[in-house]
Amino acid sequence: MLSYTLRRIVYLIPVLLGVSIVSFSLLHLIPGDPAVVLAGVGARPEDLAGIRAEYGLDQPLPVQYVNYVSRAVHGDLGISIRTRDPVARTLATRLQLTFQLTLLSMALSIILGVLAGVIAATHHNTWIDSSIMVTALAGVSVPGFWLGLLLLVVFAGALRWFPAGGSGTPMHLVLPSVVLGLGGAAVIARMTRSSMLEVVRQDYLRTLRANGVSERLVIYKHALRNALNPVITVVGLQFGFLLGGAVIVESVFALPGVGSLMINAIFNRDYPVVQGGMLLISVVFVLVNLMTDLLYGLVNPRIRY
């Protein structure tokens, strides 16, 4: 397992280099002079020169990239143009809420998705299977922002069961978690059903049933474990999609997380914050994929080889 883990970590190096290049290029891909973009069209020449010196824009691109990576490794993601606060500190403050929202949504997705997929597979070609798959199709198709607005109107506006926005209590995270979690649960349910249908008819399960093993143990202990590898892949990808979806959902529910921070930074042309936020989310997504690969080795030891 150790050699497998080290090998997967080595594979991350070129991916992280690619992520750093893309995030570094964000400011330089903007049409025109980055210093003019940062300072505004009416900026004086001395102001532009100061900005170029502050952000290292007066140096060759390779030197700028090396300096950018060196600072990022040490936790320095630059200074916000709008607030003049360190970007790393701002992101760290907002990341806690975004992670809470993502983890709650992920837990809801896994529980609902796996359970619905198993039930659909064990009731294949029945009205239960059809109902679950139609619901899953609706969950995949409905846009998150539309579902969020609908839940706000019904549960926050009409029924007043939950707060309409903001943060501070666990109740503020319920509706956003449901919005993000339902879409992920639909994808996981479809994959779990497909994977379970390939397993439930195999000979070793018939042998277990013939030996008197209860159907519950056959399904949830033996069949589900052998069907988990594709599901783990989807779960890992969904975590990244939930981080991305949090950008919109946090704006809908006025949650002060990384998503709403990046939206505001885009509107305010605060490119160091956008640059740092994109790098942070990308690195988290890569690390989650690493954890997914390591889970393969735990669920199915043959993967290690």
For 202-220, write each residue's pLDDT tens digit.
Answer: 767 667 767 776 667 777 7
Percent of the chain with pLDDT over 70: 84
Res 229: pLDDT: 74
pLDDT exceeds 70 at position 177: yes
Residue 193 has pLDDT above 80, yes or no: yes
**Taking a C-beta distance cutoff of 8 angstroms, is the pair 272, 90 a contact?**
no
In the chain the first and final C-alpha atoms are separated, in Å, by 9
Residues 137-153 pLDDT 10s: 887 787 777 888 888 88
Mean pLDDT of 115-125: 83
Instruction: Examine the pLDDT at 289 and tell me if it is beyond 60.
Output: yes
pLDDT tens per residue, range 248-281: 787 778 778 787 788 777 777 777 788 888 888 8
pLDDT, tens digit (0-9, with 9 covering 90-100), for 42-76: 677 777 777 777 777 677 778 878 887 888 888 77
Distance CA 58, CA 35 (A): 10
Average pLDDT over residues 84-97: 82
Distance CA 176, CA 188 (A): 19
Alpha-carbon gap, residue 176 to 144, rounded angstroms: 9
Buried b (16+ CB within 10 A) or exposed e, 148-174: beebbeebbeeeeebbeeebeeeebbb
pLDDT band at 300 (very low <50, low <70, confident <90, very high): low
**pLDDT on residue 34:** 66
The amino acid sitting at 156 is A
Q: How confident is the model at residue 189 (pLDDT cuts 50, 70, 90)?
A: confident
Residue 208 CB: number of other CB atoms within 10 A?
17
The overall average pLDDT reported for the chain is 77
Is the pLDDT at 88 greater than 80? The verdict is yes
- The structural domains of the chain, ordered by start, are 2-73 (no CATH), 93-300 (1.10.3720.10)
pLDDT band at 33 (very low <50, low <70, confident <90, very high): low
Round to whole Å and give the CA distance between 75 and 72: 5
Residue owning tokens 């605060």: 270
